[in-house]
């Protein structure tokens, strides 16, 4: 056994429990150095989000606090990941680097480059971010799936990896004597002056708490409640509806095995309550959506920039900066759209149903290219993730994998009546409409005296629908010629 240290390079796996690469590093019985690198490529990106950077920092602090209990710390470095890693290996004389694989085009390029630059020092990569890595869920003729339902069917059939339990031997961490370990930077160190939202509780204990709460109760009603728009899950002590785990899954503060394992235990606990068991299955299917989009981006990396169905790149979208701004600010005059956008701006999260409604509104009712919405989401969402976000936007805009057909254009009033029947979601996020009845709140412009301070609708739904249909039909016709 060598005395040289090994490095565990944390990326989007910010937890100590059930961490495949970290366990492998600790198993070498060599001193393990925990490293995180802030790469300026993310700070320069059009996707940069002050919210998500603040969320990352808070989770790094929690990780660091846990590492301190083991007599070590999280070593932070800043700069080009590959160059910094190479330099750090040289400085510490580490003889191996451990990390969990990420599958985005950027991450795979970065890791290939890192392995080359490290030369004889191996970079050991592990599958950990997903239950089934890209390349392992394929059709009978070994092709990647481009439709969700058959993907999910195959994904469900595969044996699932178990949660890796057992305590961590803290003696295996490096004491960092002789290694510079500066404090975790603050948001201001990244030159951002943006106001940041109040964050949910960070760290893997908080993630576990939320998972436990969800799988003890709300998961059993998930099938019936998941589309109901709930005012603010992050302040509600016992939220019903969805799990609100996406910000934790995004950074790997929670592993997909932990999520899946807890769901399976819940299903067992449901006994012969068929509705509860089906509800758990419905939730598990959401974990399959998460992996589906990661696989899609891995196998079809062009979706990063253009539609999965290239025909949709031909749509003549409108350039309407004022309307885009009103959509962003939650001032379209359609209460459900405005409530959802104000929720995003206020808490960095939005309900899935609301994401679909505002997505349809932007790309179909306003006929604005999905990229504008996709980027805006990335700049605000705590869970902003290129694969899921691009997948969701292309799906709703019509050009995605098994996309919502172009002719399905959500009527924002009907969606609102259906998924916020009492108007509580709207009332919570739009104080101007607080006094309206459940009947009037979805279309306040129809009142004889609409509330002052709230705008009339930005566009007439019927007109917008016809406009979108003719834009989409034009490309369909051209393609058929």
Ligand X SMILES: Cc1cc2nc3c(=O)[nH]c(=O)nc-3n(C[C@H](O)[C@H](O)[C@H](O)COP(=O)(O)OP(=O)(O)OC[C@H]3O[C@@H](n4cnc5c(N)ncnc54)[C@H](O)[C@@H]3O)c2cc1C
Position 307 contacts ligand X (CB under 6 A)? no
Residue closer to ligand X, measured from CB, 55 or 393: 393
Is 324 one of the binding residues for ligand X (CB under 6 A)? no
Show the site string, 128-167: x = touches ligand X by CB under 6 A, - = not: ----------------------------------------
Per CB under 6 A, 286 contacts ligand X? yes
Residue from 57, 137, 202, 245 binding ligand X (CB under 6 A)? 245
If the CB atoms of residues 164 and 352 are measured against ligand X, the closer one turns out to be: 352
Plot region of 32 (φ>0 → left; ψ -120 to 50 → alpha; else → beta): beta
Residue 290 in contact with ligand X, rule: CB under 6 A: yes
The number of residues that bind ligand X (CB under 6 A) is: 29
- In the structure encoding, which two tokens stand for residue 277, read together? 């068991």
Owner of token pair 């891995």: 298
Q: Is position 334 an interface residue for ligand X (rule: CB under 6 A)?
A: no
- For position 352 contacting ligand X by CB under 6 A, the verdict is yes
The percent of the chain in helix, strand and coil, each rounded to the nearest 5, is 50, 5, 40
* Residue in 17, 20, 246, 416 binding ligand X, rule: CB under 6 A: 246
Contact flag: residue 348 with ligand X (CB under 6 A): no
Structure tokens at 411: 């009527």
Q: Which is nearer to ligand X, 113 or 223 (CB)?
A: 223
Instruction: List all residues 6 or more positions away from 301 whose beta carbon is below 8 Å from its beta carbon.
Output: 105
| 319-327 long-range Cβ contacts below 8 angstroms, 24+ apart | 320/366, 320/368, 323/366, 323/368, 323/458, 323/459, 324/362, 324/366, 324/368, 324/372, 326/455, 326/458, 327/358, 327/361, 327/362, 327/366, 327/368, 327/373, 327/458
CB 163 within 8 A of CB 23: no
Judged by CB under 6 A, the stretch of 26-34, 37-45, 285-293, 303-311 that binds ligand X is 285-293
Q: Looking at 393, 406, 410, 428, which residue binds ligand X (CB under 6 A)?
A: 393
Among 51, 389, 401, 415, interactor with ligand X by CB under 6 A: 389
Q: In angstroms, rounded to a whole number, what is the distance separating the alpha carbons of residues 397 and 392? A: 9
Beta bridge partners of 173: 32
Q: What's the DSSP call for residue 5? A: -
**Quick check: 98 binds ligand X (CB under 6 A)?**
no
The minimum distance between CB 308 and ligand X, in angstroms, equals: 14
Distance CA 29, CA 1 (A): 8
Rule CB under 6 A: say whether 388 interacts with ligand X. yes
Cβ-Cβ contacts under 8 Å for 331 (sequence gap 6 or more): 338, 455
Q: How far is CA 7 from the centre of its chain?
A: 27
Q: Is 384 in the site for ligand X (CB under 6 A)?
A: yes
CA distance 59 to 195: 19
**Cα 459 versus chain centre, distance:** 30
Binder of ligand X out of 15, 23, 355, 379 (CB under 6 A): 355
Contact status: 45 vs ligand X (CB under 6 A): no
Check residue 394 for interaction with ligand X (CB under 6 A). Answer: no
Residue with smaller CB distance to ligand X, 57 or 381: 381
Candidate residues 359, 398, 450, 457; the one interacting with ligand X per rule CB under 6 A: 359
CB of 233 to ligand X, least distance (A): 7
Is the CB of 200 or the CB of 392 nearer to ligand X? 392
Question: Cα(22)–Cα(32) distance, rounded to whole angstroms?
Answer: 9
Under the binding rule (CB under 6 A), the answer on residue 381 touching ligand X is yes
Told to check if 357 binds ligand X by CB under 6 A, we report no
Does 242 engage in binding with ligand X (CB under 6 A)? yes
Q: Of 244 and 298, which has the nearer Cβ to ligand X? A: 244
- The reply on whether position 383 binds ligand X by CB under 6 A is yes
In the complex, what is the shortest distance from the CB of residue 269 to ligand X, in angstroms, rounded to a whole number?
18
Burial of 210 (0-12, 13-18, 19+ CB in 10 A): buried
Determine which residue in the list 287, 296, 344, 426 makes contact with ligand X, applying CB under 6 A.
287
Is 33 strand, coil or helix?
strand
Check: CB of residue 255 under 8 Å from CB of residue 15.
yes
- Residue with smallest beta-carbon separation from ligand X: 392
In the 8-state DSSP scheme, what is residue 187? G
Shortest distance, CB of residue 334 to ligand X, whole angstroms? Answer: 17
The tokens of 458 are what? 């930005």
List residues binding ligand X (CB under 6 A): 226, 242-246, 249-250, 286-287, 289-290, 293, 351-352, 355-356, 359, 377, 381, 383-385, 388-389, 391-393, 396
């Amino acid at each position: 056994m060598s005395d040289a240290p090994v490095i565990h390079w944390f990326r989007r796996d910010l937890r100590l429990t059930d961490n495949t690469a970290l366990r492998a590093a600790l198993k070498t019985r060599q001193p393990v150095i925990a490293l995180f690198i802030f790469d300026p490529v993310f700070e320069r990106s059009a996707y940069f989000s002050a919210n998500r950077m603040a969320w990352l920092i808070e989770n790094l602090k929690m990780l660091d606090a846990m590492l301190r209990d083991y007599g070590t710390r999280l070593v932070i470095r800043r700069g080009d990941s590959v160059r910094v890693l190479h330099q750090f290996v040289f400085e510490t004389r580490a003889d191996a680097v451990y990390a969990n694989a990420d599958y985005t085009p950027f991450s795979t390029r970065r890791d290939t480059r890192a392995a080359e630059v490290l030369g004889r020092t191996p970079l050991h990569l592990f599958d950990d971010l997903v239950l089934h890595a890209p390349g392992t869920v394929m059709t009978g003729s070994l092709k990647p799936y481009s439709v969700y339902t058959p993907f999910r069917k195959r994904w469900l059939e595969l044996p699932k990896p178990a949660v890796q339990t057992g305590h961590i031997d803290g003696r295996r961490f490096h004491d960092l004597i002789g290694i510079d370990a500066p404090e975790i930077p603050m948001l201001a160190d990244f030159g951002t002056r943006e106001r940041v939202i109040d964050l949910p509780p960070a760290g893997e204990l908080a993630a576990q708490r939320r998972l436990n709460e969800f799988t003890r109760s709300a998961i059993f009603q998930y099938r019936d409640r998941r589309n109901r728009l709930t005012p603010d899950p992050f302040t509600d002590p016992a939220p019903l509806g969805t799990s609100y785990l996406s910000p934790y899954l995004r950074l790997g503060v929670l592993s997909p095995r932990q999520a899946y394992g807890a769901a399976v235990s819940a299903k067992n606990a449901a006994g012969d309550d068929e509705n509860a068991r089906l509800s758990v299955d419905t939730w598990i299917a959401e974990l399959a959506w998460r992996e589906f989009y990661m696989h899609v981006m891995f196998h079809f990396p062009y979706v990063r920039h253009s539609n999965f169905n290239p025909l949709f790149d031909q749509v003549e979208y409108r350039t309407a900066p004022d309307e885009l701004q009103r959509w962003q600010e939650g001032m379209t005059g359609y209460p459900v759209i405005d409530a959802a956008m104000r929720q995003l701006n206020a808490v960095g999260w939005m309900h899935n149903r609301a994401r679909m409604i505002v997505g349809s509104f932007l790309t179909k009712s306003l006929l604005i290219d999905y990229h504008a919405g996709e980027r805006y989401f990335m700049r605000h969402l705590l869970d902003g993730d290129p694969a899921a976000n691009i997948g969701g936007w292309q799906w709703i805009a019509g050009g995605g994998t098994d996309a919502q057909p172009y002719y399905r254009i959500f009527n924002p009033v009907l969606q609102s009546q259906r998924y916020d029947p009492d108007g509580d979601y709207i009332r919570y996020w739009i104080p101007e409409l607080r006094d309206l009845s459940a009947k009037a709140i979805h279309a306040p412009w129809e009142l004889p005296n609409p509330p002052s301070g709230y705008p009339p609708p930005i566009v007439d739904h019927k007109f917008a629908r016809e406009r979108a249909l003719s834009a989409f039909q034009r490309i369909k016709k051209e393609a058929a010629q």
